[in-house]
Structure 1
Amino acid sequence: MTSTHARLALNLLPKIGPIRVQRLLEVFGTPEDILRAKASDIQQIDGFGNDLASTIAHWKKHIDLDRELRRIQEENLTLVTPEDSVYPDLLSEIHDPPLLLYVRGQITERDRHAVSIVGVRNATAYGLATAKKLAFQLAQAGYTIISGLARGIDTAAHEGALAAKGRTIAVIGSGHAKLYPPENAALAERIAESGAVVSEYPVDYPPDKTTFPQRNRIVSGWSSGTIVVEAALRSGSLITANQAMDQGRTVFAVPGNIDRPSSHGCNHLIQQGAKLVQDASDILEEFNVLPLNIISSADAPHGGHRPDLSEQEAVVHSALSTDELHINEIALATNLPIGTVSTTLMKLEMKSLVRALPGKFYVRLV
């Protein structure tokens, strides 16, 4: 039996879980050795009574490992474990990292640089637009966007990253064959084509009231920071934010209308010290990094970086100067439509080449 198959077996066993498996690994060394252990030896470990010890020692009576392996193949999934190089470093550092991840699509090294975006299911138009904008900007800057595939803010975040042709990962609170919500099945397929849909649950495990809060620790634990766009005072999004804080991650919140219940959670987070977010530059400044999708250049000032520019970006960039220019002046100078100029300026801003000023004025930084 391989280490991956042993982890899969442990993951299938009832009432075991990641924390108990970590204790077992400290004693027995490997997942394979855990499954070979005698019940009497397992009982010597604090927290393992007769029933748990017997379940582990006689694991073949409690699960059908061959069936699960067939279901994984039928669903075209792969398994990623902490022993694999692409298993996220940050996720491995949390208190209860998943034993393994069922993956549709592909996890890459680039996904180590990730930001999560979460919020309410019944989002306002403002919340949906904001989530999509932030995801678009951060994905263009090179970050992988993590969210939970739920209705509302999660969906908007995934859509924003896809629109930017960036990477996004959906962490679901069920097995892959029981995807929830079902209306997001097509979105999940699109995500898997360029990113990944992941779960820690067996293929046919249904969603319930416990799986989503459990799922949220992966969303926050995978990410350098968690952005809450809209949230009520009692919501799963605040659970995710609290888990992020417990995991030592930075929490960001988008302020909202004080009369709107869906803003109360975000405004409360800001009162408690979460970083107020207006656009992606607030997140990049907090991490004190330039966008990740840029390449080194010897002629960049102060040892900085210069990105590759599209022809359109180069035209707009060359029209700018260190003096303030209004967007209308830039449009006249480039002979481009105002909408095209606006989109291009946003891309240049995300590449740390341009700074937006109040009143739709812009200055060139590099």
Structure 2
Amino acid sequence: MTRTEAWLALNLLPQVGPVRVRKLLQHFGTPERVLSAKASEILQIEGFGLVQAEGISAWESQIDLDGELRKIKERDLTLITQEDELYPPLLRDIHNPPLVLTVWGELTKRDHNALGVVGSRHATHYGLGATKKLSFQIAYAGYAIVSGLARGIDTAAHEAALAASGRTIAVIGSGMGRLYPPENMALAERIAKNGAVVSEYPVDRPADKQTFPYRNRIVAGWSCGLIVVECPLRSGSLITAQQATEQGRTVYAVPGPIDKPTSAGCNRLIQQGAKLIMDGADVLDDLMTLFPTAPKAPRVQEFTPAIALTLEEGILYNAISTDETHINEIVTASGLTQSTVSATLVRLEMKRLIRALPGRRYVRVM
């Protein structure tokens, strides 16, 4: 048995979640050692009764590990455990991190810098528009957008990130073989090509009322901040916001009309201390405040947008120095037309590679 297979076996065990597994690992050291432990050894650990101890020690009769591995292989999925370098570091530090992530697509280290986006399944035109604007801007700046593939706000967030040619992660509340909602299968396929669809559940686990709130802790825990776009007072998004707060994440909320129940949840979050945002720049500026760059040793590797530059963007970026450069000098140095330069400068600003100064001057920021 490989180490990854041992992690998967622990994840498949009924009534043994991440918190209990942490206790087992603290006692036995490795997942392989946990699976080889006798019931009498497990009973020595506080919080484990006879039924649980016997179930763990007889794990081979409790789960179908070979069957699950076969399903994973047939669907061309990959497994990421807490020991893998691609496992999101912020997620690893929450109280109950998933033991295993089943991945459709590909995770990269770029996905460690991410923002969660949540909101109502029954979104209004206002909510969908705000989601698309914010998610596009943030994904364009190089942050991965993490959401839950649900109808409404989640769907708009994923689609906007894809439109920006950015990264997006869909965390689903079911197994990969029971993807929900089914009408988002085409969207999931697109996400898998430029991001990943992720689940902590066995391949054939259907969604239910328990899996969705549990799924939301991953959306909140994966990200350095959580954006709540639109939700009523009774909403799963507010539960996710509470989880984000408990995990030490910054919560951002989009304000809405005070006479609209669909915005009551966001307005209440702002009232309770969430940061009001109206534009992607509000979030990006706040993140730069939370994670400032040192003057002599900027943390370029961690915070540089990872999206590749187009030919025009590369030409303009090289035409701008760390000193102030007037737009006329940029046009002359680049050889591009005035209209092309103006449009491309805006894109470089959104990617946070340059900053606009008074007098139509620009400066390279990294």
What is the TM-score of this pair, normalised by structure 1? 0.85
Partner of 2:234: 234
Offset of residue 46 of structure 1: 1.2
User: Over residues 54-112 of structure 1, what are the superposed CA-to-partner deviations in whole Å (9 max), with x where a residue is unaligned?
Assistant: 10000111111110000101111000001111111101000001001000001101111
User: Over residues 236-257 of structure 1, what are the superposed CA-to-partner deviations in whole Å (9 max), with x where a residue is unaligned?
Assistant: 1111111000000110000111
Offset of residue 355 of structure 1: 5.6
Partner of 1:266: 266
Matched, 1:160 2:183: no
In structure 2, C-alpha distance between the alignment counterparts of 1:90 and 1:270, rounded to whole Å? 24
Counterpart of 1:260 in structure 2: which amino acid?
K
Offset of residue 33 of structure 1: 0.4
Matched, 1:345 2:346: yes
Offset of residue 334 of structure 1: 3.8
Offset of residue 350 of structure 1: 4.3
User: Over residues 277-312 of structure 1, what are the superposed CA-to-partner deviations in whole Å (9 max), with x where a residue is unaligned?
Assistant: 111111111111799xxxxxxxxxxxx99x957537
Offset of residue 2 of structure 1: 1.4
In structure 2, C-alpha distance between the alignment counterparts of 1:197 and 1:38, rounded to whole Å? 36
Partner of 1:121: 121
Q: Closer, same or farther in 2 for the Cα pair 1:153/1:64, shift >3 Å?
A: same
In structure 2, C-alpha distance between the alignment counterparts of 1:209 and 1:363, rounded to whole Å? 54
Matched, 1:42 2:21: no
Q: How does 1:198-217 map to 2 (within 5 A)?
A: 198-217=198-217
Paired residues of 2:107 and 2:195 also in contact (CA < 8 A): yes
In structure 2, C-alpha distance between the alignment counterparts of 1:125 and 1:342, rounded to whole Å? 28
Partner of 1:300: none
Counterpart of 2:84 in structure 1: which amino acid?
D
In structure 2, C-alpha distance between the alignment counterparts of 1:167 and 1:290, rounded to whole Å? 22
Superposed CA RMSD: 3.0
Q: Closer, same or farther in 2 for the Cα pair 1:35/1:312, shift >3 Å?
A: closer
Q: Closer, same or farther in 2 for the Cα pair 1:343/1:231, shift >3 Å?
A: farther
In structure 1, C-alpha distance between the alignment counterparts of 2:176 and 2:350, rounded to whole Å? 38
SS for the counterpart of 2:115 is: strand
Paired residues in the alignment total 338
Unaligned runs of 5+ in 1: 292-303, 324-332
Partner of 1:2: 2
Paired residues of 1:290 and 1:351 also in contact (CA < 8 A): no
Q: Closer, same or farther in 2 for the Cα pair 1:290/1:93, shift >3 Å?
A: closer
In structure 2, C-alpha distance between the alignment counterparts of 1:284 and 1:133, rounded to whole Å? 14
Matched, 1:82 2:79: no
Matched, 1:23 2:23: yes
Matched, 1:311 2:312: yes
Counterpart of 1:11 in structure 2: which amino acid?
N
In structure 2, C-alpha distance between the alignment counterparts of 1:233 and 1:118, rounded to whole Å? 14
Paired residues of 2:312 and 2:344 also in contact (CA < 8 A): no
Paired residues of 1:280 and 1:350 also in contact (CA < 8 A): no
Unaligned runs of 5+ in 2: 292-303, 328-336
In structure 2, C-alpha distance between the alignment counterparts of 1:94 and 1:236, rounded to whole Å? 19
Partner of 1:192: 192
SS for the counterpart of 2:273 is: coil
Offset of residue 322 of structure 1: 8.1
In structure 1, C-alpha distance between the alignment counterparts of 2:344 and 2:61, rounded to whole Å? 59
In structure 1, C-alpha distance between the alignment counterparts of 2:39 and 2:147, rounded to whole Å? 40
SS for the counterpart of 1:117 is: strand
In structure 2, C-alpha distance between the alignment counterparts of 1:334 and 1:35, rounded to whole Å? 67
Q: How does 1:90-129 map to 2 (within 5 A)?
A: 90-129=90-129
In structure 2, C-alpha distance between the alignment counterparts of 1:130 and 1:341, rounded to whole Å? 25
In structure 2, C-alpha distance between the alignment counterparts of 1:313 and 1:6, rounded to whole Å? 47
Paired residues of 1:111 and 1:143 also in contact (CA < 8 A): yes
User: Over residues 117-139 of structure 1, what are the superposed CA-to-partner deviations in whole Å (9 max), with x where a residue is unaligned?
Assistant: 11001101111111111111111
In structure 2, C-alpha distance between the alignment counterparts of 1:363 and 1:121, rounded to whole Å? 43
Offset of residue 362 of structure 1: 9.6
Offset of residue 173 of structure 1: 0.2
SS for the counterpart of 1:115 is: strand
Offset of residue 213 of structure 1: 0.4
Counterpart of 1:136 in structure 2: which amino acid?
F
Paired residues of 2:7 and 2:99 also in contact (CA < 8 A): yes
In structure 2, C-alpha distance between the alignment counterparts of 1:91 and 1:118, rounded to whole Å? 17
SS for the counterpart of 2:97 is: coil
Point out 4+ residue stretches in structure 1 off by more than 4 angstroms.
307-310, 312-315, 320-323, 340-344, 361-365
In structure 1, C-alpha distance between the alignment counterparts of 2:198 and 2:350, rounded to whole Å? 32
Counterpart of 2:142 in structure 1: which amino acid?
G
Partner of 2:296: none
Matched, 1:71 2:71: yes
In structure 2, C-alpha distance between the alignment counterparts of 1:25 and 1:349, rounded to whole Å? 44
User: Over residues 2-32 of structure 1, what are the superposed CA-to-partner deviations in whole Å (9 max), with x where a residue is unaligned?
Assistant: 1111111111111100000000000000000
Matched, 1:146 2:146: yes
Q: Closer, same or farther in 2 for the Cα pair 1:132/1:313, shift >3 Å?
A: farther
What is the TM-score of this pair, normalised by structure 2? 0.85
